[in-house]
Amino acid sequence: MTPAAEHDHVPESYARLWLLLGVCVLASTVLYWQVTKIPSRLSTISPSPTTPAESSADWFLTLRMPAITSQYESGIDTMRVRYEEWLEGMRQAGFEPMRLSEVYRRLKDGRDVPARTVVLVFEPGFRRTYEIVAPILARHEWPAVWITPTTEMSKGHREYLTYHKTAQMVQSGWWDVGYMDTLSHFLLKSKDQEPIDFGNEDAPAWSKTAGGLALNRGPIFGTMNRLHVLSDWTTADLVNRLRVEVPIDQPVYLTLAPVQNMNWGISTPQNSSEEKYFDLAVPLWRRGVMLGWFGVKSHANFSLEAEAADLIGNLAFRLRWNELEGSGLVVTVSRRIWSIQQQSPTGSVLLRRIYRRSSGGFRMSVQLTDSVMTLTPDGESPETVLLPMGARTNSGVIQIYLYDALKGSAQAKALRMLYTPSPS
């Protein structure tokens, strides 16, 4: 090879080398995104269409999110994926984030917040949780509340963030930071308003529901609900559980959705494509099965239309039901009898009994207006019942209870219920 030829060959070799490196980098990048992209399990979520009536509200939902500590290093990648899916799934279902300080300011000033507002709370505020979750929240532009015990922070406990770091979090505008000095009180700091005191010994910051309820309503603060999210919930579990408590302000179908493989009562808008019929059956090892709908709780006056293609056993509709007292109105349908009762802690009073001829199924329309119930059974003439004093003004949940005298023999097929709230 001549010197000139050798001189020309060197740049050509370098060019091939750089081309080969570029191809490798591109292939590696594609492979990285294929391997590390977040798997989508959101196909199980059916976004609930919103209406103008749902555009603003005087209520919000609070979630206490699961912590991630150094004790569970093997599950960190799983939790990263899960948090990504949770945030994306809530957004797809129409839930929107807000800091607690902003919710407080709006409701205190008499203004509403966007319907389906969700406040995320991290308590206690572990350092490891912040390191894992903060970048995910930032990507999804989802603000949150960080509550941490001042006793541990003052000791310089390595599991918790420092005062300097929490001050930076407040200044970012994406975090509210609560400094908790007792189990019943914390001081909430935010970037754009004065610190807010939450809770005291007489009225603790958090209610005693043990993490079982997410709904907070109205401008009254001091004792709030929060739902404890479990680390093994799927996105469908989380979204369905939130839908359980969404207040109902328009005609909806009362339907079912699974949360950790158990059916819960949710509401489905009339214009939704979701299935509106469902079947109920009593397992062989039980005497009955019960389901409830929490979203109806603020309405004492409403109408309920229900039907089933086939009924074996007894199906009781508990209306204006007070779960703590076990009181309310009960409409029970069987193949032979309709009955209307008032249930109280001291017993039940039969208000009306109607004999029927059934081919297996039923149709029912109930209208509740203050002290009057109107029942239209099987499309026949309406029956009007004047309600006793104790059943006139109570609001509450709606429950259905399917049961029979013979164990495991009760069932209701193709059950459908349309609920329409009336102005208070």
What average pLDDT does the segment 287-313 reach? 94
Out of 183-192, 248-257, 299-308, 355-364, least confident range: 355-364
Backbone φ and ψ of 399, nearest 5°:
-125, 150
Q: What percent of the chain has pLDDT over 70?
A: 85
Strand 193-198 relative to strand 215-217, pairing: unpaired
Percentage of the chain with pLDDT > 90? Answer: 67
Give the domain ranges of the chain. 42-237, 248-421
Q: Return the pLDDT at 33.
A: 34
pLDDT tens digit sequence for 316-348: 999 999 988 899 999 999 989 999 999 988 899
Query: Is the pLDDT assigned to residue 8 strictly greater than 50?
Result: no
Question: Average pLDDT of 393-399?
Answer: 88
Most confident by average pLDDT, 145-154, 167-176, 348-357, 400-409: 167-176
The secondary structure of the chain, three-state, reads CCHHHHHHHHHHHHHHHHHHHHHHHHHHHHHHHHHHCCCCCHHHCCCCCCCHHHCEECEEEEEECCCCCHHHHHHHHHHHHHHHHHHHHHHHCCCEECCHHHHHHHHHCCCCEECCEEEEEECCCEHHHHHHHHHHHHHHCCCEEEEEEHHHHHCCCCCECCHHHHHHHHHHCCEEEEEEEECCEEEEEECCEEEEEECCCCCCCECCCCCECCEEECCCCCCECCEECCCCCCHHHHHHHHHHHCCCCCCEEEEEEEECCEEEEEEEECCCCCCCCEEEECCCCCCEEEEEECCCCCCCCEEEEEEECEEECEEEEEEEEECCCCEEEEEEECCCEEEEEEEECCEEEEEEEEECCCCCCEEEEEEEECCEEEEEECCCCCEEEECCHHHCCCCCEEEEEEECCCCCCCEEEEEEEEEEECCC
Residues 100-140 have pLDDT tens digits of: 999 999 999 999 999 999 999 999 889 999 999 999 999 99
Average of per-residue pLDDT values in the chain: 85
Whole-number pLDDT of residue 219: 75
Flag the least confident range among 288-297, 298-307, 400-409.
400-409
Q: Which residue has the higher pLDDT, 100 or 405?
A: 100
Could you say which of 3.50.50.60, 3.40.50.1100, 2.60.120.560, 2.60.120.620 is the CATH number of the domain covering 248-421? Answer: 2.60.120.560
Summarised one tens digit per residue, pLDDT across range 352-382 is: 999 987 778 999 999 999 999 999 999 899 9
Residues 15, 61: Cα–Cα separation, whole Å: 60
How large is the average pLDDT for residues 182-195? 93
CATH code, residues 42-237? 3.20.20.370
410 closest CA partner among 319, 332, 321:
332
DSSP lists the bridge partners of residue 252 as 269, 419
Question: What residues contact residue 357 under an 8 Å CB cut-off, 6+ apart?
Answer: none
Cβ-contact 220, 235 below 8 angstroms: no
Number of Cβ within a 10 Å radius of residue 254: 25
Tokens at 268, concatenated: 């489905």
